[in-house]
Structure 1
Amino acid sequence: MLTMYLMQGKVALITRGDFGIGRAMCYYFAQEGPAIAFTYVKGGEEEGDEDTLQKIKELKMDEAKDPIAAAIAADTGYDENCKTVVDQTVESYGWINKLVNNAAKSRLGGIEEMTEDGLVRMFKTNIFSYFFVTRQASDYNKFIN
């Protein structure tokens, strides 16, 4: 089977790439050879940044270039953190070709247990972070197809 490695020479930024779907995206992209930057929540409930970095290196296809991977600790619910993530990725790799907004908070309990602070935290993670990361990546013409 001929694989084209469509991601070789590209840069992918994946938010919350250390867990769940984000980790799976890191693993998928690793087989196609791009540089991969992903965020993780330091001290988070499932901190797996080192495991994800190791697996990215193991999953590389023989013919693909070595994927370069970087784990960036950041709470993407805050605009200034998203700017730091985007700036750090662009500084390291030159640009961002693919952006996967994946950060999400899903274990929230029932509506009767939800506090105002919990609701704000959920929106910061599930809504605001997607806007902030996308804006930071596109604001400075750093998002390239």
Structure 2
Amino acid sequence: MSAQTFPAQQQTPPGLTGEMRPRPDHGEDSYVGASRLEGRRALITGGDSGIGRAVAIAFAREGADVAIVYLPDEQPDADETCRLVEDAGRRCVLVPADLTVEDEARGAVRTAVDGLGGLDVLVNNAGFQMARRESVADITSEDLDRTFKTNLYALFWVTQSALEHLKDGSSIVNCSSIQAYQPSEPLLDYASTKAAINNVTVNLAAELAERGIRVNAVAPGPIWTPLQPATQPPEKVEKFGSDTPLGRAGQPAEVAHAFVFLASEQTASYVSGTVLGVTGGKPVF
């Protein structure tokens, strides 16, 4: 795939897919399943758009029923993702919730389990960043609360509740980031949460091994999702991803395969405690 530049654009967080130019590729026309998740039931936070939508499509085409958690403002994206999952012949459970609120985060798991009839795979993908600032002095307590509660607190709350339902052979896949390894100054708080997620992943993998539950993470590089025009200055959007060795941003569809690999017992039955980079060539070690 050749290098690509993006037109300058900006949205209000959390951002919507329909307003992006160009539209991201979530694998709508390209992902072909191979029954790697047949009969599994998966909960994906932030499953309405971006990487979450691509994972939902891939999981459905691999044979899984899917529940997606999303903010109420993201309903149009959630409806489209649901349609794509159902077009694959799988069940989709819509779970609008604000994961920065503990009761809603835990309630989202209960709603998903009720709708799916159980739970086998948890994908902690929901995330927030804000890059429209110049120094640490610009990070407010409100910024910290939103970033840490979305990226880290919610992961704990959702995982704790999901563990009441996950059994031997289940899998948890967290969403880390290249920012955990090569942090950008404007993303200090976001990068901190992603480094923490790496540690959570390794520690949980050790704790849950005796229960037969695998825990891994995917660390994406710059991926073209609504989070970018919603949180980056327009001039940075134009050059988004150009600093990678491959010279371009990735598409959500290019990340989904990593989540399938780690979630599936067919492909990753002996993989736990790993962070798998999908970064366009940037190192994750």
Is the shorter-chain TM-score for this pair beyond 0.5, marking a shared fold?
yes
Partner of 1:23: 53
**Equivalent in 109, 122, 125 of residue 99 of structure 1:** 122
Is 1:123 aligned to residue 143 of structure 2?
no
Partner of 1:52: 81
Deviating above 4 A after TM superposition, structure 1's stretches of 4 or more consecutive aligned residues are: none
Displacement after TM superposition at 1:4 (Å): 4.7
Partner of 2:73: 43
> How many Å separate the matches in 2 of 1:6 and 1:42?
31
Partner of 1:113: 138
Partner of 2:157: 132
State the Cα RMSD in Å. 1.8
> How many Å separate the matches in 1 of 2:63 and 2:139?
42
Displacement after TM superposition at 1:114 (Å): 2.2
Displacement after TM superposition at 1:40 (Å): 0.7
> How many Å separate the matches in 1 of 2:138 and 2:54?
31
Partner of 2:23: none
Q: How many residues align?
A: 134
Give unpaired runs (5+ residues) of structure 2.
Answer: 1-32, 171-285
> How many Å separate the matches in 2 of 1:26 and 1:79?
24
Partner of 1:84: 107
* One-letter identity of the residue aligned with 1:24: A
More displaced, 22-31 or 102-111? Answer: 102-111
Scaled by the length of structure 1, the TM-score of the pair is: 0.84
> How many Å separate the matches in 1 of 2:70 and 2:137?
29
> How many Å separate the matches in 2 of 1:47 and 1:125?
21
Partner of 2:264: none
Give unpaired runs (5+ residues) of structure 1.
Answer: 61-65
> How many Å separate the matches in 1 of 2:130 and 2:86?
30
* One-letter identity of the residue aligned with 1:52: T
Is 1:8 aligned to residue 38 of structure 2?
yes
Displacement after TM superposition at 1:37 (Å): 0.1
